[in-house]
């Protein structure tokens, strides 16, 4: 079972889809895979800060003088990529719809999307919003089950 997602472009371990999403936002990286590796989780016994690597832990020690850490790496939770993806997509869709409403753009119609030239015919507003949603959805094709 997967306990993390790994970015194939820079080998960063992400603990869930949300982190992959944030990583994508920051780096533009789009190739993630499920991984059975566990994201290091070193919890500071004094303040509860979670460090994700020895480097981070060392920095935290230096900055705060805190020295005791509990290694909770093995408590990494199994992630349900499908379920997290679905939730993230739903959130994304709601965000986009909210944005579209703010902009006064009409909601996408329930009718199945017609790919191709028909979109060019007339109704600019509808088409543009439908495309924005499709565009965002396309970003989500990168995390798939393999
Ligand atoms: Zn990356
Ligand atoms: Zn601390």
| 21-68 pLDDT per residue, tens | 999 999 999 999 999 999 999 999 999 999 999 999 999 999 999 999
Residue 134 in any domain: the answer is no
Asked if residue 48 and residue 33 are part of one domain, the reply reads no
Evaluate whether residue 131 is within a structural domain: no
| Domain assignment present for 135 | no
Q: Kindly report the CA angle at 50 between 46 and 52, in degrees rounded to 5?
A: 135
Q: How far is the CA of 19 from the centre of ligand 2 (A)?
A: 22
| 29 within a domain of the structure (yes/no) | yes
118 within domain boundaries:
no
* 12 and 2 assigned to the same domain: yes
Please give all residues whose CB falls under 5 A of ion ligand 2, grouped by chain where several chains appear. 44, 46-47, 49, 64, 66
Supply the pLDDT for residue 102. Answer: 77
Q: Are residues 46 and 76 both part of a single domain?
A: yes
More confident residue, 78 or 114: 78
In a domain, 74, yes or no: yes
The alpha carbon of 22 and the centre of ligand 1 are apart by a number of angstroms equal to 10
Residue list, CB under 5 A from ion ligand 1: 7, 9-10, 12, 27, 29
Q: Give distance in angstroms: CA of 126 to centre of ligand 2.
A: 52
- Domain total for the chain? 2
Is there a single domain that holds both residue 13 and residue 49?
Answer: no
From the CA of 66, the nearest ligand is 2
Ligand nearest to the CA of 31: 1
Cα of 50 vs centre of ligand 2, distance in Å, is 8
DSSP string, 18-67: HHHHHHHHHH----EEEE------EEETTT--EESSHHHHHHHHHHH---
Same domain (yes/no): 33, 57: no
Q: Residues 77, 47: one domain?
A: yes
Three-class DSSP category at 6 = strand
pLDDT value, residue 144: 47
Ligand nearest to the CA of 26: 1
- 31 and 63 belong to one structural domain: no
Containing structural domain, residue 4: 1-37
- Claim to verify: residue 47 and residue 67 sit in the same structural domain: yes
The pLDDT of 69-84, averaged and rounded, is 93
Q: Is residue 28 part of a domain?
A: yes
- More confident position, 88 or 145: 88
Rounded CA gap, 12 and 39, in Å?
A: 9
49 lies in the same domain as 28 = no
Same domain? 55 vs 42: yes
Ligand 2 centroid to Cα of residue 38, in Å, is 22
Please report whether residue 79 resides in a domain: yes
pTM score: 0.63
Q: How far is the CA of 146 from the centre of ligand 1 (A)?
A: 19
Q: From 47, 67, 83, give the residue that closes a domain.
A: 83
């Amino acid at each position: 079972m997967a306990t993390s997602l790994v970015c194939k472009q820079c080998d960063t371990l992400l603990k869930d889809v949300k982190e992959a999403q944030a990583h994508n936002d920051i780096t533009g990286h789009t190739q993630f895979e499920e991984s059975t590796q566990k994201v290091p989780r070193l919890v500071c016994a004094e303040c509860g800060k979670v460090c994700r690597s020895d480097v981070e832990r060392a920095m935290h020690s230096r900055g705060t003088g805190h020295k005791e850490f509990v290694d909770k790496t093995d408590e990494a939770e199994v992630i349900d990529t499908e379920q997290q993806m679905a939730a993230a997509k739903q959130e994304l869709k709601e965000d986009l719809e909210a944005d579209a409403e703010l902009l006064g753009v009409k909601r996408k119609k329930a009718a199945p999307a017609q790919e191709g030239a028909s979109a060019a015919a007339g109704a600019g507003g509808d088409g543009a919003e439908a495309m924005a949603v499709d565009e965002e959805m396309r970003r989500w094709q990168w995390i798939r089950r393999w």
